[in-house]
Structure 1
Amino acid sequence: MKSHVKVLVVGGGAVGCGIALHLARAGWETMLVERDELTAGSTWHAAGLLPLFNMGYATSHIHDYSVKLYAELEAQTGLNAGFTRCGNLRMAQTQDRMDEYQLYSAIAETVNVEHEFLTPKEIKDRWPLVNIDGLKGALFHPTDGYINPADVTQAMAKGARMAGATIERKIQVNGYQWTGSEWIVTCEKMVDKGGNLVPSGEIFEIRAEHVVTATGNHAQRTARLLGIKIPAIPVEHQFIVTEPDPALLKWRAEGNPEHPVLRDADAKWYVREERGGWILGPYERNAPARFLYDVPETFRADLFPLDLERIEEEYMSMIHRLPSSETVGLKDDFNGPICYTPDGNPLVGPAPGLRNMWLAEGFSFGITAAGGVGHYLAQMMTQGEAEIDMASLDPRRYGRWMTTEYAARKNEECYEHVFILHHPDEEREACRPLRTSPAYDRQKARGAQFGSVNGWDRPNYYGPLDAPADFDHNARSFRRGGWWQYAKAEAEAIRNTAGLIDATAFAKHMVKGPGATAFLDWLTTNKLPKVGRINLTYALTNAGTTHTEYTIVRLAENDYYLVSAGAWQDYDGDNLVKSAEDFMANGGDFVSVQDVTTQWGVFAIAGPKSRDILKKLIGDADPATALSNKRFPWLSAKKIELGMVPVNAIRVAYTGELGWELHHPIEMQNHLFDRLMEAGEPEGMKLVGGRAQNWLRQEKSYRAFGTELGRDATPLEAALDRFVDLDKDFKGKQAMLDKGVRFKCVTVLIDGPEDADPWGREGLFADGERVGRLTSGGYSVGFGKQIGMGYVRPDLAEPGTKLKVRMFRELWDAEVTEDSPFDPTNAKIRVDG
């Protein structure tokens, strides 16, 4: 057995074997170790479905790659992976569900996933055994299907061996130690004794430059060994297999094709053929999380007892949809652990706080994802970044505040929501509120309706206090929801008078020390601001794409305050710390990085009246001029006093109006909130939530990380040349230049449907050809129509270019506008007073 390798993959399920296959094919010396047999975890009892349907851009690419790979594995390896391409039929009982499918269709189109819509009659004509009562229609994937999980895993394992990888079974990892240049992985040989897998006492070490963990149900043990948190915890998933159905046997005996995988999403189940009978897989309520802290040593390829009462509703629904199944008995049942994460996306990428440690954990659709994850993770590891933006799957999207209890409860909720409508404006309720700013209760009392970002509850919008009893703040829609009118009023308030936004969830880091200036100059693309000034800048990946956006406030010569997106606190912090370590290791002076997110609250006040409101509160010898352009210019920062609160004020506004961010000691927030409300309400100031802010920032073409800004595009492609100083050297500069400009970020104004706005997932078209996609969307109060931002071919990025946007399967007129179509000269931001 090898004792030194380039990369060690821990875990021999489908995901681990998919990773080993692609790393070996990329030319890295690869070893995979599995504590039991290949496929012994969740892989062995998985139903093997290959659903292409996914609302996430990155995950859609991953699933699409997997399905295409699996169709080629036999030719590549000589092993039949057991792929049955029978298609996938997603039925809809409501118009809302059809709207979901139409939004998905727009996403699928950007990934080139083949699909079609069917009427109830077309369903019945193709598959007469299906009862179409109550159906509105269906979405059909002809290239979808299912696969034998064990066979596809073995095929990928053979492919990995053919590419030079080594696979060793019955080896358990008991420890990890980083030496500064490689990992020492302590292993122990496992042996079978009486059906149990037990340690042999034979201990040895494997040294590896990189380690990838793909440990499935054992993720909590992995987390404990690494000293980190991994919110991957299994939830029970049941499926049952029926005896042969005479009607189905007759249908097939007559030469008819296999039924597609049937999904009645509104009934929360999937069904597929299995040896003349049916497999029913429900996603019911109250499925419990298991193995919160560890998997028992005695649990191998084992199952839990079936709980038929829990799935009775779904079982009866299957009989309704497939009447011939009513008299068919049950032949087999499975109830096994399937890993989930709080948002349903797997954890793929660098482990927080660790070097050359990569996670591939938390796969609820592991068979579908295995091939694609292997492909894109191998790109990240060997090329510096994947060709698609993988930030939505990054393990560091979950912060250190997260506990096991939180992960377990959210994972149970996620399981339950597999077939619940995936509204773009949905806000799931489990484990909330958890992280709240001090003003939470005051905001709630004024009608705040909260959304959750990185565990923080922050206002999405403010609803009416006098709403009728039947008004449902939780009503979601794929069109304009009940909240839309209130967000519109809030956006109009910022444009006409003033608005106050709670931005406490912003990520905030202090960077200081004798090396701080040289470090940030190397890490970021823009010139550093002078003392007392701010700038917007970007940190790049090794591949030259955008890793993070920062607002940098220079407090002193070597003292900086960095503000970034609230959803990415630990992601940004991890990059800052590791980059500072790299800088110092290469001879740079000492740099200190401190996360101060929870020390500072933030209120953003913006609008034409914002200066007048702050004048009432500011402690200054000359309040009338304290906030003037001369004393407090745009893009500067000053320490001021508002009542009894010392405030670090930054003259900037994400909404494109005159405004300030008021960074204050978080323990003084309620006092500041009360004083701002007292001063602002007579001036017409409204409390404003995140949805209105999102619309307004698009009117200014302000890019956002996670939408326009991501690890698949450079700042030059994002049309942010003015924030890139090519006269200096910075991390990722040459890689950025080598990429050139493959596409360009644009803002478009859209003449769309009267009752809907784009969500930022839709395709862009020119002359019938798809030429790009939206990354953000919403409504513009400034122009009275829909607005969006996205990427197109560079030749189509000129203002005035006519495009089309796909919404609800129709193409709507759109026009590329100049950057910052609202107030392009920034006159409103710079106004004096």
Structure 2
Amino acid sequence: MSDVQVLIIGGGAMGVSLAYHLGKAGWSDVVLTEKNDLTHGSTWHAAGLCTHFAHNATIQEFRATSVRLYRDILPEETGQGCGFHPSGAMRVTRNPDRMDEFRHVAGLSDFTGYPLEILTPKRIAELYPLASLEGLLGGIYEPDDGHVDPTLATQAMATGAKARGVSFFRQNPVTSITREDGIWRVETPKETFRARHLVNAAGTWGWEIGHMMGLNIPSVPVLHQYLVTDTVPAVADRIAQGLPELPMIRDPEESWYLRQERDGLILGPYEKEAQVWSVDGVPPDFGAELMPPDLDRVEHIIEAAMARVPALETGGVKSVINGPITFTPDANPLIGPAHGIENGWLLTGSSMGVMEGGGAGWFLAHWMTHGAPPMDALAVDSRRFGSWADRDYRVAKAIECFGLQFGVHYPFEERPAGRGLRLSPLHDRMLARGAIMGAAHGWERPNWFSDKPGDVAHESFQRTNWFDPVAREVECVTNRVALADLSVFSKFEVTGPGTADFLETLGANRPPARGRVGLIHALTPAGGVVSEFSVARLADDAAYLNSAAAAEEMDHDLLTAHAAKHDVRLRNVTEEIGVIGLMGPQSRSVLASLSDADLGTGFPWLSVREITVAGVTLRAMRVSYVGELGWELHARAADLPGLFDALEEAGKPHGIGFYGAYAAGSMRLEKGYRGWGGDLTSERTPDEAGLGYLIRTDGRDFPGRDALLQRMDKPDRWEMVLLSLDSGTLDPFYAHTVRHEGQPVGIVTSGAYGHRTGLTLALAYLRTRGLREGLTVDILGQRFDATVLDRPPFDPDNTRLRS
């Protein structure tokens, strides 16, 4: 029996990268066990494409880190080449929306330091003379992209890991996993391991290893095939002339990629109807096998590729690779702590394991070493899916993601597969009143309300068909009263004699007094915001915490770990309690008609009371994310429909209406309110986010306190500002570069049009504090003047909230 610090299960690019980076970070007693041999599963048959194109800065850093590792670091450290070809890459399109997407990604990349070039058809011809320009509007060029030999890259990482003491066991499948006294016991044919940390990096086998760990891993193997041609004369001629390697080219509308392979080409089509494989367990003897070719499935895509690059037709098919790759419900990998299991980790589910593996291993090694990720993890955190992500969901979403591998990623996009899993008690009522639904952590929630039967959201980077309905919702909230279904909140109850200490040591702010409501930001060890809790102090020994829907599993883990240090009981009551928002200047009148409670001086802003409304006993919290007089009414889920009906009827004389998430997003920006997951992330402190008034450190100790204080003393810390943009009808959303006198200095984290103020607004981080003049914001390739607002433009003194 071997006692080890870390046991990594899986010897693909992801797992070996983690072994390498843990070794670099100084970990000892690190072991990797592999069922077959390194790279077996999906790594060995990958096409090896490496790109910097990404819609998310963290994903982009994964990919950029992988390129640096394969191209520069590993060959220098190990003396082993990775077969990296710095060919560059481009994407071309005939779709105007796609050009907006390209401009958006290029704008983000200006800030992250990986600049991409927007292409005209003329420039496409210069970079890729074998391409037909017919119908093309333009494209985007990724100059630092390339492709790598997956086997060489993985073996080089293994060499680097071994040099740092990591042990590898090949041909050694895991047969069972149990836990004894907080230690993982893992049985294999060659050894029984007792490991403090266990990492599921099993890729194709990730679901099965997860099942052994007691986890639900929402990943599915999907078959992907690509073909390798014989000699293509036009490519051979270029080689004979000493011309550089052709850049990789992708046509997302036709759903294919193409790269040079010696004097031939590799074509990878992604069909719209994915073929899932071995959903409930991979065959025991599967290792480095492939499926038979099935080119009939992709014949139409091959024909489209030949039309775009006619030279492709001149090379015969030399071989066809048809093997499994894994897809998660959103096509991003599962990385980070496993929900509910101490020292269990995931590094699996990547459909682009070679492209992202080098960076993903670095990312998780940092997380395991320092107790927090090096960058915002929300896009990849393994806990972004809950137990609701069942078999049908993961299969439906894998098929959807594969088919939309080259789909346009719109801001606020809502994809249709796997919906309707978590329904509020008010779901049918919301639909009956015209709600257009979105998905939030499996929940259905109203995004906006339409008065047109059968209406659907039109997706675009420009203003879309929900702009005017949202304006009407905002007007109703501002001048009358409106209802909202807010049941998607994550909800937790803390009770017991240790409640006061639990709250006092939770985060950066002091807990509220009894009967009051306050915000507490829990921090990473480095002082960044990991969670935001709205805390209602019900009694000396009882509190009620709310947080974002998407944070449910993450916050449950955080609160569980914190509760273990205190004499309290923690309950996740997310499913048990529903929430109705009643907002607007007439909200008090509506509520007073249904309750005998004191709703005036006895119920001030930021307070919580247990009251009875229409015969329903509930928790009423006088808080408002939209900047108006209003209440959140938290009641048992079973009581919510009757409560809603009573409120709606009582509100009819006051012109009651409804509002959704998009209207709330517009109104909260007019108040300068920060949102968790976009404006508030683990990378930035509450101080940098402009929430210094919610930091109370005197005489208190909490996780991240010392790091927070150190960062608050640094003059180079970032600063969040509220901007007003002169952008006409082009509204910001997120990930737009902010410039000062032409140079990138910041990034927009959220934005919208403010219907009450007539201002286009955005929250943004600036790398340099104090910048106030000469600021602009890039939106879809256009540059607009920006003004820093020192105070929120709507009700800056909170007169309406306090009324």
Classify the TM-score, shorter chain.
Answer: over 0.9
Q: Secondary structure at the match of 1:523?
A: coil
Aligned residue runs from structure 1 range 79-90, under 5 A:
79-90=80-91
Unaligned runs of 5+ residues in structure 2 are: none
Give the AA of the match of 2:175.
Answer: N
Q: Is the 8 A contact 2:672 2:722 kept in 1?
A: no
1:276-311 CA-to-partner distances (Å, cap 9, x unmatched) read 222111121111222222111121111223332221
1:177-206 CA-to-partner distances (Å, cap 9, x unmatched) read 4444543322223xxxxxxxxxxxxxx322
Q: Is the 8 A contact 2:334 2:349 kept in 1?
A: yes
Q: Is the 8 A contact 1:217 1:291 kept in 2?
A: no
Matching residue of 2:14: 15
Matching residue of 2:303: 316
Matching residue of 2:205: 218
Matching residue of 1:596: 573
Separation (CA, whole Å) in 2 of partners of 1:218 and 1:435: 28
Give the AA of the match of 1:632.
Answer: F
State yes or no: 1:803 paired with 2:770.
Answer: no
Q: Secondary structure at the match of 1:425?
A: coil
Deviation at 1:745, TM superposition (A): 4.2
TM-score (normalizing by structure 2): 0.97
Deviation at 1:269, TM superposition (A): 0.9
1:379-414 CA-to-partner distances (Å, cap 9, x unmatched) read 111122233111321111111222122111111111
Matching residue of 1:119: 120
Deviation at 1:526, TM superposition (A): 1.8
Matching residue of 2:436: 449
1:494-513 CA-to-partner distances (Å, cap 9, x unmatched) read 22222221110000011111
Q: Is the 8 A contact 1:601 1:666 kept in 2?
A: yes
Deviation at 1:466, TM superposition (A): 5.5
Separation (CA, whole Å) in 2 of partners of 1:456 and 1:353: 21
Bigger drift between 146-155 and 397-406 goes to 397-406
Q: Is the 8 A contact 2:448 2:469 kept in 1?
A: yes
Matching residue of 1:197: none
Separation (CA, whole Å) in 2 of partners of 1:93 and 1:533: 56
Matching residue of 1:200: none
Q: 2:744 aligns with which of 770, 777, 781?
A: 770
Aligned residue runs from structure 1 range 346-745, under 5 A:
346-465=333-452, 473-581=456-564, 583=565, 588=566, 590-618=567-595, 620=596, 626-628=598-600, 630-727=601-698, 728-740=700-712, 742-745=716-719
Deviation at 1:819, TM superposition (A): 4.4
Q: Is the 8 A contact 1:748 1:814 kept in 2?
A: no
Matching residue of 1:822: 794
Bigger drift between 457-466 and 679-688 goes to 679-688
Question: Aligned pair in 2 of structure 1 residues 266, 631: CA closer, same or farther (>3 Å)?
Answer: same
Matching residue of 1:295: 282
Aligned CA RMSD, in angstroms, stands at 1.7
Detail structure 1 runs of 4+ shifted over 6 Å in the superposition.
Answer: none
Task: State, as a whole percentage, how many aligned pairs show the same letter.
Answer: 39
Q: Is the 8 A contact 2:17 2:157 kept in 1?
A: yes
Q: Is the 8 A contact 1:538 1:546 kept in 2?
A: yes
1:648-699 CA-to-partner distances (Å, cap 9, x unmatched) read 1100001111110011111122222222222223323321110111111111
Matching residue of 1:340: 327
Give the AA of the match of 1:830.
Answer: R
Separation (CA, whole Å) in 1 of partners of 2:409 and 2:726: 22
Q: Secondary structure at the match of 1:537?
A: strand
Matching residue of 1:170: 171
Q: Secondary structure at the match of 1:287?
A: coil
1:13-50 CA-to-partner distances (Å, cap 9, x unmatched) read 11111111111011101222111110111001111101
Deviation at 1:133, TM superposition (A): 0.2
Question: Aligned pair in 2 of structure 1 residues 257, 744: CA closer, same or farther (>3 Å)?
Answer: closer
Q: Is the 8 A contact 1:392 1:706 kept in 2?
A: no
Give the AA of the match of 1:612.
Answer: S
Bigger drift between 752-761 and 602-611 goes to 752-761
Aligned residue runs from structure 1 range 75-224, under 5 A:
75-180=76-181, 182-189=183-190, 204-224=191-211
Q: Secondary structure at the match of 1:578?
A: helix
Separation (CA, whole Å) in 2 of partners of 1:575 and 1:31: 28
Question: Aligned pair in 2 of structure 1 residues 386, 809: CA closer, same or farther (>3 Å)?
Answer: same
Matching residue of 1:201: none
Give the AA of the match of 1:45.
Answer: H
Q: Is the 8 A contact 1:743 1:792 kept in 2?
A: no
Q: 2:729 aligns with which of 749, 755, 759?
A: 755
Separation (CA, whole Å) in 2 of partners of 1:762 and 1:330: 43
Aligned residue runs from structure 1 range 319-330, under 5 A:
319-330=306-317
User: For this pair of structures, how many residues does the alignment match?
Assistant: 798
Separation (CA, whole Å) in 2 of partners of 1:753 and 1:317: 38
Separation (CA, whole Å) in 2 of partners of 1:89 and 1:528: 52
Matching residue of 1:45: 45
Question: Aligned pair in 2 of structure 1 residues 418, 75: CA closer, same or farther (>3 Å)?
Answer: same
TM-score (normalizing by structure 1): 0.93
State yes or no: 1:793 paired with 2:767.
Answer: yes
State yes or no: 1:263 paired with 2:250.
Answer: yes
Separation (CA, whole Å) in 2 of partners of 1:414 and 1:84: 28
Matching residue of 1:198: none
Deviation at 1:801, TM superposition (A): 4.5
